Amino acid sequence: MNDVIIIGGGPAGSVLGCYLSMAGISNLIIEGSIFPRAHVGESLVTSTTRVFKEIGFLPTMEREGFVRKYGASWHAPTSREFGIDFDPFPEEGIDQNYTYHVDRSKFDLLLLKHAESLGSKIYQGVRVQKVLFENDQACGVRVKMGDQEVDLPCKMVVDASGRQTILGNQLKLKLKDPIFNQYAVHAWYKDLDRGSGITADWIHIYFLPIERGWVWQIPITDEITSVGVVAEREIFKQAKLDLESYFNKYTQTNPDLVQAMSSATRVNEFKTEGDYSYCMERFVGNGYLLVGDAARFVDPIFSSGVSVACFGARMASEVIRNGFELDDFSEATLMPYEKRLRSGVEIWYEFIRLYYKLLPLFTHFIQSKDHRQQIKRLLQGLVFDREEAPVLQAMRDYVKAVESSDHHLFKAHLAAVPID
């Protein structure tokens, strides 16, 4: 019997497998797909380098030659570009001024193989049908192997199934976000004009003149660039266009983006992503724990997904280790993980909510001498184990000042996003 069964072999599951194996805890990762497989979420934040170093994966990231990401840039429809670099803060484990853009099919496979090299057992192409319970305690999973269903026992179950949210759906824990319902249409392009100089390989965000609309530009290789149009799902529905027409319509609404894509050629099929924001009612229970997108997913505007998965896995490994030391896998024993994860992700969520409220006035805070460093710290993913980010209060105050004035120049630019 395995000590821990992990459902899902994406970054959350693989990183957790690494930490558990390093702690001498046997674990089985069950992945429904067969890697490599395509996945969205191609741009990382610098805080992930700490996790990669701890599990011994950073040399692989360097060896494989993933595009280095030194900063981020924002392009408003009617004003100039504003950028910010990722010079490191004196934070433990972060000693390089760049992170990475990745081909997720390659990155996820390498990370899964790394977990296997450290001791995780891997089943690919095996679907988990349900999590098994005995006396309100998770005790294993039921999987389908060929034409047979097989029950696999364990002491602890971790749902790292991503947006499939296997356990969340089984236990009816999923709560839809009351504000955000984003929808993305994306594809890869070659011959996209990234510009020149130090910003060429940054992530570029283009504001669109629609509700919470933006476009990502992410370098995947020297030749290939990922481009995605994000807006409220209702905007996509109302457009009543096929994917290509919808994509082309909105990529023509930002002059900088028009220039960047003037000679670009699409190299794969359009893909869509929905269900962008949700939260589980709880992240832990007796004998089980949810990590990564299986627990909480927030809008990807700041590339937070892999970071939340990695740090969630790191924090989960700590409470699981404690559980084995105590021989106690109760909800109470696992609860410190939930509290830490919720606190950190709530900072991300508040940052994203204020960003959308201010869009495109967000550039005011990028340029501000008082707030630029705090914005940079958030963009690096440094959100865990801190109670508040002071710049968020400054953003709230800015919004209130604009809203309280009947004739404020920027009042018309505030989006309809509640911040209280």
Do the Cβ atoms of 111 and 59 come closer than 8 Å?
Answer: no
User: What does the pLDDT read at residue 414?
Assistant: 67
User: What does the pLDDT read at residue 124?
Assistant: 97
Give the residue, 372 or 114, on which the prediction is more confident. Answer: 114
Where are the chain's structural domains? Answer: 2-42+50-66+101-176+278-344, 350-413
Average the pLDDT over 269-287 and give the result. Answer: 91
User: What does the pLDDT read at residue 151?
Assistant: 97
Average the pLDDT over 366-372 and give the result. Answer: 85
User: What does the pLDDT read at residue 369?
Assistant: 85
Give the residue, 142 or 2, on which the prediction is more confident. Answer: 142
What secondary structure letter does DSSP report for 281?
S
Give the residue, 314 or 2, on which the prediction is more confident. Answer: 314
User: What does the pLDDT read at residue 409?
Assistant: 60
User: What does the pLDDT read at residue 210?
Assistant: 86
User: What does the pLDDT read at residue 146?
Assistant: 84
User: Using H for helix, E for strand and C for coil, what is the string for 148-215?
Assistant: EEEEEEEEEEEECCHHHCHHHHHCCCEEECCCCCEEEEEEEEECCCCCCHHHCCCEEEEECCCCCCEE
Closest CA to 381 of 52, 13, 103, 19: 52
For residues 171-198, b (16+ Cβ closer than 10 Å) or e, as one string? Answer: bebeeebebbbbbbbbbbbeebeeeeee
User: What does the pLDDT read at residue 411?
Assistant: 65
Query: 177 Cβ partners below 8 Å, 6+ apart?
Result: 276, 277, 278, 279
User: What does the pLDDT read at residue 89?
Assistant: 57
User: d(Cα 318, Cα 337) in Å, to the nearest integer?
Assistant: 8
User: What does the pLDDT read at residue 400?
Assistant: 87
Segment among 140-149, 292-301, 329-338, 408-417 with least mean pLDDT: 408-417
Closest CA to 76 of 362, 385, 315: 362
Give the residue, 420 or 91, on which the prediction is more confident. Answer: 91
User: d(Cα 252, Cα 402) in Å, to the nearest integer?
Assistant: 30
Angle at 223 between CA 219 and CA 229, to 5 degrees: 45
User: What does the pLDDT read at residue 81?
Assistant: 82
For residue 219, give the H/E element and its range. Answer: strand 214-219
Rounded to two decimals, what is the model's pTM? 0.94
User: What does the pLDDT read at residue 123?
Assistant: 97
Instruction: Band the pLDDT of 174: cuts 50, 70, 90.
Output: very high
Q: Mean pLDDT of all residues in the chain?
A: 91
Residue 29 sits at φ, ψ, to 5 deg, of -100, 120
Instruction: Report the relative pairing of strands 137-145 and 127-134 from DSSP bridges.
Output: antiparallel
User: What does the pLDDT read at residue 344?
Assistant: 92
Average the pLDDT over 179-198 and give the result. Answer: 92
User: What does the pLDDT read at residue 364?
Assistant: 80
In DSSP notation, 375-405 reads HHHHHTT--TT-S--HHHHHHHHHHHHHHT-
Say yes or no to pLDDT of 275 above 70: no
Average the pLDDT over 238-249 and give the result. Answer: 96
pLDDT in tens, 54-86: 999 999 999 999 999 999 999 987 767 888 888
Say yes or no to pLDDT of 211 above 80: no
User: What does the pLDDT read at residue 388?
Assistant: 72
Say yes or no to pLDDT of 412 above 70: no
User: d(Cα 312, Cα 281) in Å, to the nearest integer?
Assistant: 16
Say yes or no to pLDDT of 196 above 80: yes
Say yes or no to pLDDT of 150 above 60: yes
Give the residue, 93 or 95, on which the prediction is more confident. Answer: 95
Is residue 113 packed enough to be buried (19+ CB in 10 Å), middle (13-18) or exposed (0-12)? Answer: middle
User: d(Cα 179, Cα 309) in Å, to the nearest integer?
Assistant: 22
User: What does the pLDDT read at residue 178?
Assistant: 84
User: What does the pLDDT read at residue 298?
Assistant: 85
pLDDT in tens, 9-28: 999 999 999 999 999 999 99
Residue type, 111: L
User: What does the pLDDT read at residue 418?
Assistant: 61
Tokens representing 318 are 């700590």
For residues 21-50, b (16+ Cβ closer than 10 Å) or e, as one string? Answer: beeebbbbbbbbbebeeebbbbbbbbbbbb
User: What does the pLDDT read at residue 188?
Assistant: 98
Superfamily of domain 2-42+50-66+101-176+278-344: FAD/NAD(P)-binding domain (3.50.50.60)
Query: 162 Cβ partners below 8 Å, 6+ apart?
Result: 8, 10, 12, 292, 293, 294
Say yes or no to pLDDT of 363 above 90: no
